[in-house]
Structure 1
Amino acid sequence: MSWPQGGGVRVDVAVVPNAKRTEAIGLHDGALRVRLAAPPVDGAANEALQRWLAGALDVPLRAVELVLGQTSRRKRLQVQADVAAVEHWLQALREAGVLEAQRQGPPTEA
């Protein structure tokens, strides 16, 4: 996860399609691993991922853009969300045991 200079957050995701439910399950090779309750057919998995992330960050669907990995299991999304909302979401993932306890927020300026 990174915070590009243009604002928002960039999220790298490793997806597992055809799951029973959509949920974050941990980290895989530096990306958030997400099970998707959608098949990888006709963009259904991409749409499910975008809807899930928009809901998790409480932003409108139009604020979540798939920028890399249209046909891959590895994806990058750009989300227009404020830092506080992202930090809250990351804290909830940490408390659920999905992420390690280290800080994932934007770098602080020296």
Structure 2
Amino acid sequence: MAPLDPHLQQLQMLLLTLYKLVLSIISSQPFYTTYVSLPPADQVNPFIGENPKFASYFGDALDAIDGTHINACPSAAEADGAQNRKGQLMQNCLAACTWDMWFVYFLRL
């Protein structure tokens, strides 16, 4: 594997730093307590409950959950734990949101 151009390497480190900053902000107390909240356990969102297209499949669903992999640039010591099944360096994240697109859970794995 050819060495990276120093400018590209600096850009990767900057992006990793900014990613960690954004991740720490959205998981911090002021942001999390303001924007992340659990929906009532007995209330299905009207968008799902009143729409026949979705109600038959998601009638009892309260949230949506999805995972994603984000490119990462970990240190050499952390690189083994950050490889996906294809050998790429990634950060695995899991997020849950309501049907109104309010985040109710975020986890970095």
Report the TM-score when normalising by structure 2. 0.22
Larger radius of gyration: 2
Greater share of strand: 1
Greater share of helix: 2
Report the TM-score when normalising by structure 1. 0.21
